[in-house]
Amino acid sequence: MRNRQRKSITTLVFVLCGLLAPALWAQAPKTPLALKPTAPDRYVVVPGDTLWGIAERFTDSPWRWPELWNMNRDQIKNPHRIYPGNVILIDRSRGQLALAGTVKLAPHVRAESLAAEAVPSIPPNAIEPFLTRPLLIEPDGIDQAPRIVAFDDGRVVVGDGGKAFVSGMGDSKEASWNLYRRGSALVDPDTNTTLGYEAIYLGTARVLQGGEPATIELSSVTQEIGVGDRLVPAGRPEIVRYAPHAPAANMQGRVVSIYGGLGQVGEAGPHQIITLNRGRADGLELGHVLALHRHRGTVVDRTRPEGAPETVQLPDERYGLAFVFRVFDRVSYALVMNISRPVTARDVVRTP
């Protein structure tokens, strides 16, 4: 009886190991983290630094910041606060960084809180305008947003300083609003399903008088605004301070579009925004770094000494990285970082 139990337990252990091994292997780094030979032994953080830039100074794998900074998974979402003036030392024996005090950069009066001065993950000016704008409209989400029903003096369109009447605000106490309209459909290149619609940013407005309809004044206009355009509350942007890190499991998706481009037309360069067909439902989260790949296609091998020509699939080209800074259920937005060629729609993103 005991022998049977031992055999059963042994079999169960082997089965579990077989099931868990692929997942554990997917989470484990494929190669040891290598520090650059030119990495300094000591570095003083200065204003304008980012976690990405600091990681690049020491290694060519900035998405492995948690390993570089000796952070566990629970700390990834709440990274160590790093401020200008902090001294970073490199421990080459362990391949990790550590803080070693603070130096005074220059005498000045501090009017901001320390939290406001903490080093961000990526350049804030590249993504700040996109942190409060809707960017994405769910297929049925536009139906519930407040809408412009008329303009003052019976105008058809208005610009800066114009007044409009809005229906659907209800008893909202929000004073500042962003205006947008539904743009092109975001179609998944793999399934051909509509994931949502790009939100076209039109400008800002402030409420002059509540009610039904409410009266608003257009504070700034980037495009002509018309009847039927929608409003969403304008929140304060929160700079992304999530440490750059790779997804825990293998993930693959596609670039749906270049933000601001015409559907699947156009190219993206460094610090431009791209839309991905993976989101929260797929396990994607803020701070994830994905590698950009492009299919090279196939060629016909006519050099075979025997037999008919054969079609050969060429290996994909990995040409850059993208940092995920906003995540929706089925769609996410990423900032293009290091690339050796422009990003185009339908390119592949994968766990680096």
Residue 5 has pLDDT above 50, yes or no: no
Q: How far is CA 323 from the centre of its chain?
A: 5
The range of the structural domain enclosing residue 316 comes to 252-350
Residue 250 has pLDDT above 90, yes or no: yes
CATH number for 163: 2.40.10
Is residue 118 included in any domain, yes or no?
yes
- pLDDT (tens digit per residue) in 265-312: 578 888 999 999 999 999 999 999 999 999 888 888 888 777 788 888
In the prediction, which pLDDT does 118 show?
Answer: 82
pTM: 0.77
pLDDT above 70: percentage of residues in the chain: 83
Identify whether residues 149 and 216 lie together within a single domain: yes
Q: Is the peptide bond before 32 cis (omega within 30 degrees of 0)?
A: no
Identify whether residues 122 and 140 lie together within a single domain: no
- pLDDT (tens digit per residue) in 134-150: 677 776 666 778 999 99
Q: How far apart are the first and last CA of the chain?
A: 49
Is residue 34 included in any domain, yes or no?
no
Is residue 31 included in any domain, yes or no?
no
In the prediction, which pLDDT does 274 show?
Answer: 93
Identify whether residues 261 and 188 lie together within a single domain: no
- pLDDT (tens digit per residue) in 40-92: 889 999 988 999 999 989 988 888 888 888 777 777 777 777 888 889 988 88
Identify whether residues 61 and 144 lie together within a single domain: no
Cross-strand bridge partners of residue 53 = none
Q: Shortest CA distance to 159 belongs to which of 205, 194, 192, 113?
A: 205
In the prediction, which pLDDT does 142 show?
Answer: 66
Rounded average pLDDT over 99-108: 67
Sequence letter at residue 5: Q
CATH number for 287: 2.40.10.410
